[in-house]
Structures are given as structure tokens and as C-alpha cells.
């Protein structure tokens, strides 16, 4: 930062770029230095001749990356959430494929946090696990809300026998057509089973899972996206009271019988989030599904990215912004491989993410805090295609010199919001010793 400022001020003194008296050039150079040192914003831009110069000020910033579905061992209450056996997503993926190559995640302590291997000699970050405490469910909304300080004490409703008849009747009346399925199912399997009938009748496929979700699948050529989203909005209004499901989800697909494929036009319609850290900050740069999980409240407007490569590209753009908090979800682990019981694909996705991290770490600045965690588990080796109630890895990384350490298991994903508010020194918080 100091060298960049010196270069900027030096250019301001250059008569070729700034004509005028030596005194006026010196005054302008000193003014630049004063403004940059006093700005509360993260990025300051100044025009030197015809060139725009961007200077990143010494302001703290947090980048939170959520590796969706990457659990690190059964939580103590996993059986109460319907998990059979002892789910352990990351370790079971490692064992199922005979190991995978993730040297950057290893140096960050991620593999050690997951109980896969001891920390390496060149460990870079503090690591451990977080135990979920929120009772809402074992899903993305519950996990992300808890990270932002919302720990729910009641379960969201689930429907192991399908949705009740009064709710289905109200929905079919509102949309003017019947529905297919109405039972818990794997998304890809239910589309294969009912897709042909859906094409023939135009009836949407309604299904749920072990999570509190009302999912509506429709072929994009039969039910246009706007119509599908309108159906979801109707369902969101009807799902209230004892049927206040956590999320209504649009699940569009294309193709023909035997080769149906879900598209990247999924859209989530969650319950409104209670007051949380994102609400407090009110200027969060959300990536992927994150803004939707909070109904957009507290988040900047942006483009909805749909895959890990798209999220990585948006993360690079976010790093050039003036946002103090960047909150990204990388969901391919969960969506493409966990729910489809594909341990090989899951391992490959981890290796690809490791390469993403290797390219990303050098972009961090001296005042950046990188946090990496997960929202729940999704063990592709168990008998179910549903999420699993697990501990999640938790990584804290900064460029500030300190001896990296293991901090063990901490209670609650709300540790994340405490760390963020402490690091950014928000009102009512003092800076934790972790970041002094």
C-alpha cells in the first residue's frame, strides 16, 4: 500500500501529467495522500492524466466462502435429524476414492479439520470444526442463517408423506391445473419418473425431501420460466402457519424422456430471514444462492451465478469492489454430487476448488480475513440422497504473521458472525484476540 501511494503521489508531482506550478503539483500530491489515508471507503480512484488509478485503502475486509455440503463428521444430534449411521462427508469421500489431491486446502488446515490427515508442516491458517446448534433443519437456509447469528429453536415442517391435501388443493386451484408426484423424492429421479406425464399434461411436478422444501419441477418448453416462478410465488404465499416451509424452490429442466437435465434457472423463495449480521451490514456482496437465502435483504444487487466456476469468476470481481464483506456459496459439491451419491464427482469437485483457492489466495490483501466453512453435510456414500447433520470445517486465514493453530470444536455456526463483527469492529463488539 505504501509503495502504491508513493508512486501515486510521485506521479502527481510530474509536470508532464499535471501542468502548473511546482507548488500546485505538490499541494495536489499532498491532498491525495491525506484523502487516501482518511477515507473510510475501501477503494479510492483518481485520474492521473488519461489513466485511472485504483488504490485499495487499508480497510479491513472479510471474505466468507461456504463449501456447500462439505460436512466434517456426524453432529451429536444427527440421529434426531434422521441420519442413519455416522455421516462424515469429506472423510468418506476421501476413503471412497482412495484420496484426492488438495494441497492448498491441506495447507489451510481444511483436511485436518475434516479428520482426513494431520496438518502439514507449512500450515497457513487456524482450523477446527463448528457444531451446528440451530434446530431449524440440516439445510442451507438454516446453516447460512446460523452463520449470520440466527440460531433457531424450532424445526421447520417436513413432509415424509407428501404435502397435506388442503395445501395441495389450494395450490392447484390457484394455478388452474393439477400436480404430479406430491411425495419426497430425489430431484433427478422424480423428473425421470414423471417427466413424460408432465409433458403430456402440463401438470407441474411437486415434491419435497427430508428438508423443509416445497419443490416445483417443470420443463422449460411446457411451463415457461416466468410461469414457473409465478407458481412458486403462489406456493410461497400459501405455505404459512403450520405449513410455513422454509423454502419453495423452482426446479426447471429440459430434454426428453430418458435424458432430462435440470437447468441453471433454479430460483429459491425462502421465508423472510430474522434480523441478522447481513441486515446490520446492509451492503453485503453476495455470490451464488446466498442473497436468495436471506430474501436479498442486506445484499447488493448483482448477477445470480449458478456454478462453482461462475462463483469463482464473480468472486474475482468482488475482490475489485469496495465491499467490506463478501459472502459466497459454492454449491456444486452438494447439488451435483452429494444429492446424486457421486463420491468420485465430489472428490473431483474438491480438487477443482483447491485449484480455485490456489489462484485466489494471492489476491488477498494485508487487511483481508478469509473464512472457509460449510453449511451442513451431504454424504454421498450413505443410503440417502438427503443432507446430513454434521460438524463443518472452519478455517481462519489472514496474511498477518502468527503461529497457525488448531482450535478444536466450537459450538455454533454463529461463531462465524462473531468473528466477522469482531474483525470489522462493528458497534457493540470488541476485537477478539484472534485478530489483534
| Percentage of residues of the chain with pLDDT beyond 70 | 84
Q: In 10 A of CB 72, how many CB atoms?
A: 27
pLDDT of residue 273: 93
pLDDT of residue 3: 44
- Among 28-32, 221-225, 234-238, 334-338, the minimum mean pLDDT is found in 28-32
Average pLDDT value for the chain: 88
What letters, b where the CB count within 10 A reaches 16 and e where it falls short, cover 262-280?
beebbbbbbbebeebbbbb
- Among 6-10, 356-360, 374-378, 407-411, the minimum mean pLDDT is found in 6-10
Q: What is the DSSP letter of 299?
A: B
Superfamily grouping for domain 61-150+273-435 = Alkaline Phosphatase, subunit A (3.40.720.10)
Q: Is a pLDDT exceeding 80 seen at residue 435?
A: no
Alpha helices in 202-285 (DSSP H): 225-238, 277-281
Report residue 136's pLDDT band, with 50, 70 and 90 as the boundaries: very high
The pTM for the full model equals 0.79
Listed in order, strand segments (DSSP E) in 246-364 are 247-254, 261-262, 267-270, 285-287, 325-330
Query: Of 133, 62, 431, whose CA–CA distance to 281 is shortest?
Result: 62
Report residue 14's pLDDT band, with 50, 70 and 90 as the boundaries: low
pLDDT of residue 15: 52
pLDDT of residue 8: 47
Q: What is the CA radius of gyration of the chain?
A: 24
Highest mean pLDDT among 48-52, 310-314, 421-425: 310-314
Report residue 12's pLDDT band, with 50, 70 and 90 as the boundaries: very low
Cα–Cα distance measured from residue 318 to residue 343, given in angstroms and rounded to the nearest whole number: 31
Cα–Cα distance measured from residue 101 to residue 87, given in angstroms and rounded to the nearest whole number: 22
pLDDT of residue 428: 57
Q: Is a pLDDT exceeding 70 seen at residue 104?
A: yes
pLDDT of residue 348: 98
Report residue 323's pLDDT band, with 50, 70 and 90 as the boundaries: very high
Which has the higher per-residue pLDDT, 306 or 30?
306
* Cβ-based neighbours of 121, under 8 Å, separated by 6 or more: none
The predicted-structure confidence for 333-359, as pLDDT tens digits, reads as follows: 999 999 999 999 999 999 999 999 999
Q: Is a pLDDT exceeding 80 seen at residue 66?
A: yes
Copy the grid coordinates of residue 43: 477503494
Q: Is a pLDDT exceeding 50 seen at residue 30?
A: no
SS3 state at 221: coil
Q: Is a pLDDT exceeding 90 seen at residue 55?
A: no
Q: Delimit the domains of the chain by residue range.
A: 2-56, 61-150+273-435, 165-268
Q: What is the DSSP letter of 335?
A: I
The predicted-structure confidence for 160-197, as pLDDT tens digits, reads as follows: 999 999 999 999 999 999 999 999 998 899 999 999 99
Query: Of 415, 400, 409, whose CA–CA distance to 124 is shortest?
Result: 400
Cα–Cα distance measured from residue 126 to residue 238, given in angstroms and rounded to the nearest whole number: 45
Q: In 10 A of CB 401, how many CB atoms?
A: 5
Cross-strand bridge partners of residue 181:
206
Q: Per-residue pLDDT averaged across 403-430, rounded?
A: 89
Cα–Cα distance measured from residue 380 to residue 93, given in angstroms and rounded to the nearest whole number: 7
Task: Provide the phi-psi class of 322: left if phi over 0, else alpha when psi is between -120 and 50, else beta.
Answer: alpha
CB under 8 Å, gap of 24 or more: what pairs does 234-240 form? 234/171, 234/174, 234/175, 235/171, 235/269, 236/269, 238/167, 238/170, 238/171, 238/174, 239/167, 239/214
Cα–Cα distance measured from residue 181 to residue 193, given in angstroms and rounded to the nearest whole number: 9
Fold of 165-268: Alpha-Beta Plaits (3.30.70)
pLDDT of residue 425: 80
Q: What would the DSSP string read from start to end of 90-135?
A: HHHHHHHHT----HHHHHTTHHHHTTSSPPPTT--SEEEEEE----
Amino acid at each position: 500500500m505504501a509503495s502504491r501511494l508513493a508512486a501515486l503521489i510521485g506521479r502527481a508531482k510530474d509536470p508532464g501529467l499535471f501542468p502548473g506550478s511546482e507548488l500546485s503539483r505538490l499541494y495536489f500530491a499532498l491532498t491525495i495522500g491525506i484523502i487516501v489515508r482518511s477515507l473510510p471507503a475501501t477503494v479510492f480512484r483518481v485520474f492521473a492524466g488519461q489513466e485511472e488509478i485504483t488504490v485499495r485503502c487499508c480497510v479491513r475486509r472479510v471474505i466468507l466462502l461456504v463449501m456447500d455440503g462439505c460436512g466434517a463428521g456426524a453432529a451429536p444430534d444427527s440421529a434426531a435429524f434422521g441420519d442413519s449411521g455416522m455421516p462424515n462427508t469429506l472423510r468418506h469421500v476421501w476413503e471412497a476414492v482412495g484420496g484426492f489431491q488438495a494441497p492448498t486446502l491441506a495447507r489451510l488446515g481444511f483436511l485436518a479439520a475434516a479428520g482426513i490427515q494431520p496438518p502439514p508442516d507449512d500450515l497457513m491458517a487456524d482450523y477446527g470444526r463448528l457444531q451446528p446448534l440451530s434446530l431449524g433443519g440440516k439445510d442451507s437456509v438454516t446453516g447460512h442463517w446460523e452463520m449470520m447469528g440466527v440460531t433457531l429453536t424450532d424445526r421447520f415442517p417436513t413432509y415424509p408423506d407428501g404435502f397435506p391435501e388442503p395445501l395441495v388443493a389450494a395450490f392447484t386451484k390457484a394455478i388452474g391445473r393439477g400436480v404430479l408426484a406430491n411425495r419426497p423424492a430425489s430431484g433427478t429421479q422424480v423428473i425421470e419418473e414423471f417427466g413424460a406425464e408432465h409433458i403430456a399434461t402440463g401438470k407441474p411436478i411437486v415434491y419435497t425431501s427430508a428438508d423443509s422444501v416445497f419443490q416445483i419441477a417443470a420443463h422449460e418448453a411446457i411451463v415457461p420460466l416466468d410461469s414457473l416462478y409465478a407458481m412458486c410465488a403462489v406456493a410461497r404465499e400459501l405455505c404459512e402457519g403450520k405449513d410455513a416451509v422454509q423454502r419453495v424452490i423452482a426446479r426447471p429442466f429440459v430434454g426428453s424422456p430418458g435424458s432430462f437435465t435440470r437447468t441453471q434457472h433454479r430460483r429459491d423463495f425462502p421465508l423472510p430471514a430474522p434480523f441478522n449480521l447481513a441486515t446490520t451490514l446492509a451492503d453485503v456482496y453476495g455470490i451464488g444462492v446466498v442473497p436468495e437465502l436471506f430474501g436479498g435483504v442486506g445484499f447488493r444487487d448483482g448477477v445470480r451465478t449458478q456454478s462453482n466456476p461462475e462463483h469463482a469468476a464473480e468472486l474475482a470481481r468482488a475482490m475489485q469492489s469496495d465491499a467490506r464483506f463478501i459472502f459466497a456459496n459454492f454449491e456444486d459439491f452438494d447439488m451435483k454430487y452429494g444429492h446424486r451419491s457421486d463420491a468420485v464427482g465430489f472428490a473431483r469437485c474438491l480438487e477443482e476448488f483447491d485449484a480455485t483457492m490456489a489462484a485466489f489466495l494471492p489476491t488477498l490483501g494485508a487487511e483481508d480475513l478469509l473464512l472457509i466453512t460449510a453449511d451442513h453435510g451431504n454424504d454421498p456414500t450413505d443410503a440417502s440422497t438427503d443432507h446430513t447433520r454434521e460438524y463443518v470445517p472452519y478455517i481462519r486465514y489472514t496474511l498477518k504473521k502468527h503461529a497457525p493453530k488448531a482450535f478444536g470444536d466450537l459450538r455454533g455456526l454463529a461463531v462465524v458472525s462473531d468473528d466477522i463483527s469482531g474483525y470489522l469492529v462493528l458497534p457493540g463488539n470488541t476485537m477478539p484476540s484472534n485478530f489483534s
